[in-house]
């Protein structure tokens, strides 16, 4: 079987994992979490987002988090609109993430714009970011299913991804936002994306584990030639605009599977468990990842 020898994990826990957390997580706990994740070997990470504190109060301390955690790694800040981008320009951040849903119904619920309207707004912003030398990651939501419109046409996904490639983004993070994709669908979509766009930009797969199929979907993507995966330590996360969507696939579960298969990640699982244990007391939900639960039961991580 022809699988990648090395995989890059993009940690989304500090942003995607915490954004919908009901309890306000203290800023120093977020900073400690991020530094622990970096210590474990995670070199690409979504630190936070510049969004309205009214809608996402958990991210109201974005500036403080950035000031404490920015380093030479690839540190992403999500900035969904012009207001967010202008805030990015006030910092030393050099890696920016934007997002658009393939489904217009989802996009309307999320940012009150159709997919087409979002792309029109983003076109000049992306050109500006690239001109200023920023690394741009485009997050593609609802690439398989939409909670409002049902199954999404793969042709629509490819069209949106191609449009982003034409706009000059550096990376596409393509997401199964509601966790309904199966391995066959995952293989077929990512094989097609890899064949048509893989030589133009980085391709990253982003899975939620709502129905317990995230690891199988990761494996299917490995077979399709994908070697970059988003994941959230502790399986934290969910989407406030996608009813029923549970957390992202757990970083530690993906890393354990990859290591067992002889695939290199550069991540120290023991240090990763320490980082998760540090944040676990600050979130309202239990840490449900298999690897974390097994290791927490068998020995204490100090």
Please give the positions annotated as active site: 239
Q: Are 27 and 69 in contact (CB under 8 A)?
A: no
Q: Are 259 and 219 in contact (CB under 8 A)?
A: no
What element of type H or E holds 49? strand 44-49
- Helix spans in the chain (H): 27-39, 62-69, 82-88, 104-111, 115-131, 154-167, 183-197, 214-223, 251-260, 269-280, 290-298
Q: Are 122 and 100 in contact (CB under 8 A)?
A: yes
**Six token digits for residue 77:** 């800040």
Is the CA virtual torsion 59, 60, 65, 66 positive or negative? positive
Q: Count how many Cα atoms sit within 13 Å of the Cα of residue 186 in the half-sphere of its side chain.
A: 28
* CA gap 137, 171 in Å, rounded: 5
Spell out the SS3 assignment of 60-73.
CCHHHHHHHHCCCC
**Six token digits for residue 103:** 């489904």
């Amino acid at each position: 079987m022809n699988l990648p020898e090395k995989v890059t994990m993009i940690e989304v826990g500090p942003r995607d994992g915490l954004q919908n957390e009901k309890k306000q997580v203290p800023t120093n706990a977020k900073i400690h979490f991020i530094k622990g994740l970096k210590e474990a070997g995670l070199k690409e990470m979504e630190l936070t987002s510049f969004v309205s504190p009214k809608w996402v109060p958990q991210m109201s301390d974005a500036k403080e988090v950035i000031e404490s955690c920015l380093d030479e790694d690839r540190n992403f800040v999500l900035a969904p609109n012009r207001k967010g981008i202008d805030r990015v320009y006030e910092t030393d951040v050099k890696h920016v993430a934007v997002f658009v849903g393939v489904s217009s119904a989802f996009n309307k619920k999320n940012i009150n714009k159709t997919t087409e309207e979002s792309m029109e707004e983003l076109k000049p912003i992306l050109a500006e970011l690239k001109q200023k030398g920023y690394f741009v990651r485009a997050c593609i939501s609802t690439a398989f299913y939409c909670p409002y419109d049902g199954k999404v046409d793969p042709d629509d996904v490819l069209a949106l991804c191609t449009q982003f490639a034409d706009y000059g983004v550096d990376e596409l993070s393509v997401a199964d936002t509601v966790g309904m994709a199966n391995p066959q669908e995952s293989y077929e979509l990512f094989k097609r994306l890899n064949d048509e766009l893989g030589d133009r930009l980085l391709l990253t797969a982003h899975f939620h584990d709502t129905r317990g199929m995230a690891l199988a979907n990761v494996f299917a993507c490995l077979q399709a030639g994908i070697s970059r995966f988003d994941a959230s330590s502790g399986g934290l996360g969910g989407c406030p605009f996608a009813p029923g969507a549970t957390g992202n696939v757990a970083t530690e579960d993906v890393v354990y599977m990859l290591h067992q298969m002889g695939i290199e990640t550069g991540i120290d699982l023991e240090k990763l468990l320490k980082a998760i244990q540090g944040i676990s007391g600050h979130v309202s939900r239990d840490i449900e990842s298999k690897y974390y639960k097994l290791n927490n039961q068998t020995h204490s991580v100090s």
